[in-house]
Chain A
Amino acid sequence: NAGVMQNPRHLVRRRGQEARLRCSPMKGHSHVYWYRQLPEEGLKFMVYLQKENIIDESGMPKERFSAEFPKEGPSILRIQQVVRGDSAAYFCASSPEHSGNTIYFGEGSWLTVV
């Protein structure tokens, strides 16, 4: 049973480009979470999704960031017009249901904006 799979593991983008980060949850998991870890900072919640629904996006910046979890395929975190401050590690996690169960993290996607 494969774990949470994230790709790419490392991504370099120039300022103004778009970054797309993908996350395939563990088999049987229908809940996906995205977190961001800035240098020297803790992990910050961004968004919680179930299939085809955004449940909680209270941690998402108001502009340039969006997330989806379609019926088929991985969850996508999309960052438009990236700026240097977007450079961070982005972690995806999944669980079989919300709140009560252990949550499993992927290895992360490291975004560098140059």
Chain B
Amino acid sequence: KQEVTQIPAALSVPEGENLVLNCSFTDSAIYNLQWFRQDPGKGLTSLLLIQSSQREQTSGRLNASLDKSSGRSTLYIAASQPGDSATYLCAVGPKLVFGKGTKLTVNP
């Protein structure tokens, strides 16, 4: 049974800092890994999708890496902004098993 863990559960940083969110999964037989952002009381917004054959994906200030063999993914956020404050979720496909998320607060 696939289990996904995200560390840390919460993170508070000053504006402008670079940061890394971690995601680990127990079964390396995945189709893909997806990072989402969830704002309070809202749905999920897809940030990056990494196929199982890929090692990383980039979008703007975000970079996600995937190491299937070790069961890990990281989401790197450069030059963080207060608008980045949200809960970040990773999920492994195909059925999308989710971690509990990392709640990020970026302080002005």
Contact = CB atoms under 8 A, between A and B. Distances in A.
Interface of A: 4, 6, 33, 35, 41-45, 48, 56, 91, 93, 98-108, 110
A104 B46 contact: yes
A55 to B, nearest CB: 10
Contacts of A102: 34, 46, 49
A103 B98 contact: no
Contacts of A35: 96, 98
Interface string B31-61: 1101010000111111001010000000000
Interface stretch (B13-21, B68-76, B77-85, B87-95): B87-95
Contacts of A103: 34, 46, 93, 96
A100 B51 contact: yes
A108 B44 CA distance: 9
Contacts of A42: 4, 89, 98-101
A105 B43 CA distance: 6
Q: Number of contact residues on B: which range applies?
A: 20 to 34
Contact of A108 (B43, B46, B51, B91): B43
B49 A45 contact: no
B32 A100 contact: yes
A80 to B, nearest CB: 25
Contacts of B94: 98-99
B62 interface: no
A42 B102 CA distance: 11
B86 interface: no
